[in-house]
Amino acid sequence: MENQCQNGNETLLKVSTLNCIDLSNPDIHQSVSLLKQACLDCGFFYVVNHGISQEFMDEVFGQSKSFFELPLNEKMKVLRNEKHRGYTPVLDELLDPDNQVHGDYKEGYYIGVEVPEDDPEAEKPFYGPNVWPEDGLLPGWRQTMERFHHQALEVAKAVARIIALALGLEVDFFDKPEMLGKPIATLRLLHYGGQVSDPSKGIYGAGAHSDYGLITLLATDAVMGLQICKDKDAKPQIWEYVAPVKGAFIVNLGDMLERWSNCIFKSTLHRVLGNGQERYSIAYFVEPSHDCLVECLPTCKSENNPPKFPPIYCATYLSQRYKDTHAELSLYEKHQT
């Protein structure tokens, strides 16, 4: 299994060497050791044998491409709403305002956990019904995305159990109802249209950022583009590509887990550079429930290492992060007609 991960690194570009976690490995101690090393080092690793078939992954990518190939006026009918569900146009997201001249050269589509409009939970930010393309426009599209959403959550929970052990916690720590028992889990389809990035001119497929939440699962096509910077304080910063590995998820830790672990585990800067080729990827962002209080884990503090951050509710934290990086919805109202 290690060879499968290493084969993806055979390229002339500077490519990062990442640990590979095999979810079918019966030796949980080996998996915990590999994951812990990755979380201390760079916060990125591969996950293989996760239970989602390659045939189904191909179907999800095919359906994603079908949506992004629709005319813009059709995509704008399902424009992102205040619950962060639906279509995000090119340039909608500005992840690195200090270095970008404008937003990211990517378009996306958010799909969250489906909560009916009449459910009291739907009144909370990030909970509510999804936005879907019109019936008949893309046959089977909604069913495919809902099925993938469900399967990806199970993968995320399996990874979270290994993370819990790596932090010295009980294996089911993150399974609690206020955590991944009722998560804010968001599937995001992404399409990079083939623009060539130029960091010297502030042009990026996706600007440098770290993710907000607990963990992110990323599936990609075969086109290279994702880069990570293991030391954000280095001058100059050193960027390394993360090679696509067929059948694997690239997993990275989010800022919330770095905060939770008192900065013991790393949430690492990453970005996407376009090389002129179209590129598709599928990100699955996993955060605990709305009402989860994120405070320093008991295994991550001591008299000599007190908590570095005050407690904060998950919803409060996420709302501010999304507000900081997305364009105002009013900018796109003219396209709704």
Q: How far from the centroid of its chain's Cα atoms is residue 258's Cα?
A: 15
Whether 336 is in a domain gets the answer no
- pLDDT for the residue numbered 321: 80
- pLDDT for the residue numbered 105: 96
- pLDDT for the residue numbered 333: 41
Token pair recorded at residue 194: 């083939």
The count of domains in the chain is 1
| Residues in a beta bridge with 185 | 286
Mean pLDDT in consecutive groups of 10 residues from the start of the chain, 337 residues: 40 78 97 96 96 97 98 95 91 91 95 90 84 93 97 97 97 92 93 95 95 95 96 89 96 95 95 96 94 94 93 88 65 38
Give first-to-last CA distance, the chain, whole Å. 51
Whether 40 is in a domain gets the answer yes
Whether 139 is in a domain gets the answer yes
Whether 192 is in a domain gets the answer yes
| Cα-Cα-Cα-Cα dihedral sign, residues 59, 181, 114, 185 | negative
Element (H, E) at 216: strand 215-220
- pLDDT for the residue numbered 125: 76
Whether 121 is in a domain gets the answer yes
Whether 58 is in a domain gets the answer yes
- pLDDT for the residue numbered 13: 61
Residue owning tokens 């916060």: 43
Whether 193 is in a domain gets the answer yes
Structural domain containing residue 204:
2-327
Token pair recorded at residue 172: 């089911």
Phi, psi of 9 (to 5 degrees): -95, 0
**Strand, helix or coil at 4?**
helix
Whether 117 is in a domain gets the answer yes
| Other CB atoms within 10 Å distance of the CB of residue 243 | 24
Spatial distance between the Cα atoms of 337 and 334, rounded to a whole number of angstroms = 7
CATH of the domain at 120: 2.60.120.330
Spatial distance between the Cα atoms of 200 and 192, rounded to a whole number of angstroms = 19
- pLDDT for the residue numbered 327: 61
